[in-house]
Amino acid sequence: MTRWTRRLPLIAALLGIAFALPAQAEEADDPWPGLVQDIFNNRAMNDGSAVIGIEMPYRAEDAAIVPVTLRSKLSPADGRRIRSITLVIDRNPAPMAAKFELGADANVTEISTRVRVNNYTDVHAVAELSDGQLYVSKVYVKASGGCSAPAGKNAEEAQSRLGKMRYRQFAREEAQASRIREAQIMIGHPNNSGLQMDQVTQLYIPAFFVNQLKLTQDDSLVLSMEGGISISEDPNLRFTYVSNGAKRFRAEAKDTDGHVFRNEWDVEKPGT
C-alpha cells in the first residue's frame, strides 16, 4: 500500500467534513422555524403539496418584480375551503410579504402578484383552511437586492399616479357556464420599501406602501390583502373568482401615510 493510498481514508473524511459544514451552517441559519413562531404563533404546519401551490421563477430576471402565483389545489369534492393565504419570503427584511383573506363565497382559486426578493431564499405559502389547520408549500428563488433596487419611476411621476386604479377582466372559455371570472387590479403607488436610496441626496427614502386592499363584488368580499414592503412598485393583483351576479366591482386601498383610495367599475364594462 502506497503512502497516498494510506492517506485516502483521512482525505475522504476531511472532505466529508468540509462539505458537511456549509450545509449544517445553512440549516442552523434557517429562519423558517423562527418565522413560524413569530408569524403563526408556532402553530403546527401540515404538508400543503395537495392544498396550495406556489409558482415563482427559480432564478429571477429582476429581483424587484418577481412574479408569484398562488393556486388552490383542493379538489372540487373537498368540503374544505381556503380561508387565507400568507406569503412569506424568508430572508427578506420584513418576511411576511402579504396575507390574503378570501371571501367565503367568492371561490378564489388563484392569485398572482409581483414581489421584491432581497436574498437567495425559500418562499413559503401558508394556507389556513376552514378546518382550522395550516398547510405549507415552498419554492426556492435565486434573486438579490430587490428591496433596495431604485424605483422605476421618478418621484414626480409616482406622485401623479398615486392611488390611480385600473380594473380588467379576461375572457375564460368556461366563464359563461360557471360564472368564473379572471380579473386584475392595478394601483399606482411607489410602494417604497424604506431600503431604497435617493440617487440625488444619497438619503434613504422612507417606507411608504399600500398596506391594505379590499376587493368586493357589490358588498360581498372577493379578497382582501394585508401588504408589506415586499410587494413591488405599482401593486398588481390578478385573480380568479366566481361572480355572484353583482353589477359593480369595488376596490378600496389604504397606504401607510393614511391615504384612502376607492374606485368601482361596471362589471360588464371594466376599465380605468
pLDDT tens across the length of the chain (272 residues): 444 334 444 434 444 444 444 444 445 599 999 999 999 999 999 999 999 999 999 999 999 999 999 999 999 899 999 999 999 999 999 999 999 999 999 999 999 999 999 999 999 999 999 999 999 999 999 999 999 998 887 888 888 999 999 999 987 665 555 789 999 999 999 999 999 998 888 899 999 999 999 999 999 999 999 999 999 999 999 999 999 999 999 999 999 999 999 999 998 776 65
- In contact, 118 and 92? CB cutoff 8 Å: yes
Helix (H) or strand (E) holding 26: helix 3-28
Q: Report which of 104, 106, 261 is spatially closest to residue 186, judged by C-alpha positions.
A: 261
- In contact, 247 and 265? CB cutoff 8 Å: no
- In contact, 125 and 97? CB cutoff 8 Å: no
Predicted pLDDT at 177: 56
Please, which residues have CB within 8 angstroms of residue 35's CB and are 6 or more apart in sequence? 88, 90, 95, 124
Q: Indicate the DSSP class of residue 77.
A: T
Amino acid at 210: V
Strands of the sheet containing 236-242, edge to edge, are: 52-55, 66-72, 110-115, 236-242, 180-187, 165-170
Beta bridge partners of 71: 53, 110
Separation of alpha carbons 181 and 93, rounded Å: 35
Predicted pLDDT at 8: 40
- In contact, 118 and 146? CB cutoff 8 Å: yes
Alpha-carbon radius of gyration of the chain: 22
Amino acid at 29: D
Separation of alpha carbons 257 and 242, rounded Å: 33
Give Cα 168 to chain centroid, integer Å: 20
Separation of alpha carbons 100 and 26, rounded Å: 30
Beta bridge partners of 10: none
Dihedrals phi, psi of 111, to nearest 5 degrees: -135, 130
Instruction: Compute how many other C-beta atoms are within 10 angstroms of the C-beta atom of residue 231.
Output: 26
Q: Indicate the DSSP class of residue 235.
A: -
